[in-house]
Every structure is written in structure tokens, then in C-alpha cells.
Amino acid sequence: MNKFNQDNKITKLTIPRIVIAGIQSGCGKTTISRTIMAALMRRGLIVQPYKIGPDFIDPSHHTVICKRVSRNLDLVMTGENGVFNSFLKGSEGADIAVIEGVMGMYDGLDGTTWGSSAHIARILKAPVILVIPVEGMSTSVHAIITGFRQYEPDINLAGVILNRVNSPKHRDLVRAKAELPQLGHIPFNSSLFTESRHLGLFMGDEAELKDNISLIEDNCDIPELIKIAKTAPPLSIISESPQLSRKSVKIGIPKDVAFCFYYQHNLDLLSETGAILNYFSPIQDPLPDVDALYLGGGYPELYADLLEKGIARDQIRSASENGMPIWGECGGLLYLSEGISKDSKHRWVGILPGQAEMCNRFQALGYCKGITVGGTSFTKESYVISGHEFHYSRLYPQSDAKYTIKLNMGRGIDGGLDGLYTYETVGSYTHSWFSKKFCSEFISAADLFSKR
């Protein structure tokens, strides 16, 4: 089990760890990462999962499998200190960390390697296992491996897992003259593919987790993977000691099939800053007795009728009109608007002046950065907003709409403007990575509301 020794905020962290990277998106690293986690759990290990990048969906699968909350490691949104502290916080009490990569191993921000799986592996000093689909090739796989090894020689590329191996003969062909350990030869199997929808895979608590553990264990050297993970050296991390505040306000957080996109970092930081988190479902529950609301993203469009009929809808509108601080992101923005279709006015909460529609392809994808520019009590001071947007919807705001966020990276609601607001209610397309400043201002606003 890993060891934590605190000395003047320098933390020595010793934990076996591996990064499961891929040569590209769609190579099988997600399913292989999940089944490796499950195989390690079967061996009685406490497995801490992580996901590189801003994704919400893969971590939900990790969490279900490992029974521990999966955390995002995202350099673009959080910087290196944020990555180190997410890794530090998540790893406490775990026996091994499995880090699922993003896209191709070297794919980072704007054509660079910044924020890539390789970048995270380098700063966490984690050995990398590269997943390569070998369908339709044999000896060429060695050229791919050589290229990945030489591109950034300081990356510890410790082994490969070859996916979509067609036959025992094919396995023997790709084994010949191998210079890097081949830790797995996974046969092509359609059950390894996970059904998806418009924002990606189904969430972990929705999907039927097929039992592919035996397939991985029969064709992958799990003991050798563990040995490689144990070669990761200790990390010296300048840790951020949480400034725990007296719990003074209650924040309601919808968490159900419609609203399920939350960074654990945000929930932790709200709690550490002084909030009691009260989870509920707007589909079936009334609005709880709270002082503020934080509505994350998700799939509200799939449950439009249930949300329209839910008792919480009108209660949230009344709370907003009474000045309750409310922060909504993406799906939360849509729910706070007039509705999901142009011909159904006030179908949802109806407090933000705009109507939404779903489109056949994504309308925005990428990182967002900007500043708050006033408008509400918790955005009146200028501070940085950092996050990510990915949505298939468009919001058509009214001509007199007001915004509290100006983006210098990202699209937002309208040409770089985000954070549509009315009263103390804000809705944005940006899935924000909360800062201490934001949490402090939001909780202060909630505290003032509670004393009215």
C-alpha cells in the first residue's frame, strides 16, 4: 500500500502505477483499461483509477469497476500542480493506480504534446503500456513501436498490448523479432466494443458491464503488468493542504440519469470551502432545503418529459426569482432555459432567456478559458474560468441576453460569450474546473441568501 509522509507540504508518494495509452482513438484502450482494472480488483488489489483529459464518461465506468471515484488528470485545465494534487488525493489508500490515456499517446493541445498521455506519464514518472490494434498487419507493428519509442525517448514505454489479433498464427507473426515486451495479444471480439451515443459511451451505472475479464486474463500478462507498475519511482509532490472551513451553507446538486457530469475536484473543493452537498433528482424529487444550486451536465434531453413534469422545475424557478445563487453547466444550462425545442415555451425551468435545440453533430468541442465580467454577486470580481465544452445542442438566446463570462478560448453560448444570467442564476456551456476563488464567491453568495 502506498505511503504518505508529510514534511512542510512536500509529500513523498510511493504507489505502483501505469498509463494505458493508445496509438489513436478507437484502438481499444478504454475497454482494455477497464478490464485490466477489473482483473486487478479480482486479485484483491485496491485499484485507484484515473482518466487523462476532461472526459466524464470513462471515469464513470472506472468508478463502478474499482469502487473508488475515478479522477481526471488534465494539464490544460488544472496545470501541473492540479494534476499532482488530483493524483495525490486519489491515490491515498490504494495499492495500484491505473491511468487511462486520451486519444493517441502524443496527442495534446493544438497539435502539440501538451496535456497528452505522454506528458502526464512523464511528470508522474509512470511506465506506459501502449495499445496497438494489429488487424491487417504483422511486421509493421514493430515500426510503429520504434516510432513511438523514439519520438520522445525519455518516456518509459515499458510494453505493448496488441489488440484485434485474428488468430494464433497472426499472434506468432507479430511476436517475431519483438524488441519490446508484448504483454497481451487480445483476439478480436465484438463483445469488447461498448455501445455509445451522441456524447460518447453510456455512463458506468447505465451500461451493462460485460464480463470480459477472463478474455483479458487469458491473453494478457497481468502479473507482468503489476511488476512494471512497481518500477515507478517515488514522487515528490508539493501538496496543497485543504483549508477546511466550517460547513455553513447547503448546496443542492442534481445527480441522476439526466445530470451526471461532475468533476470530483469540484465537489471536493465546494465541500472543503464550506458547503454541505445535498444530492437529489429533479426527475422525481422536490427541491431540497438548500442555499444554492449547482447543476452539472448530462443528458437532460433524453428525459425531457420527466423533467418537465418534475415538481422541482417550478420550485427551482421560484428559488431563482427569490435570488438563490444557481450555477448550471451545459445540460444544466439547457434545463434552466425555456426548453429543448423552439415550439415548447417554458417547458423547463424557463429562468434563462433562450431556447435550445438538439443537432445531428457536435456544435462545440475543446477547452475553454476566460474571465468573469460581472453580473451576479459571485461573478462581480474578475477571475479566471477554465474548463471544457462538448455538446450537440444549440441555445438561441433572446436579443437582450446578458452574459457574465467572456472567453478567449472556446465558443460558449454566442461567439465567445458564456454564462447567460438572470438574477443570481448563471448557465454556461463550459464545464468548469472550479477554482478556490469561484468556490469562495459562490459559497459567500449562498451564505448571504441563507440569511435573507
Catalytic residue numbers read: 330
Q: DSSP letters of 94-134?
A: -SEEEEE--SSTT--GGGSSTTSHHHHHHHTT--EEEEEE-
Q: DSSP letters of 361-415?
A: S-SEEEEEEEEE-SSSTTTSS--EEEEEEEESEEEEE-TT--EEEEEEES-TTBT
Rounded Cα gap, residues 22 and 54, in angstroms = 17
Rounded Cα gap, residues 278 and 252, in angstroms = 5
Nine cell digits for residue 328: 448550471
Cβ(424)–Cβ(326) below 8 Å: yes
Nine cell digits for residue 289: 432545503
DSSP code at position 195:
P
Residue 438 CB burial class (10 angstroms; 0-12, 13-18, ≥19): buried
Cβ(21)–Cβ(48) below 8 Å: no
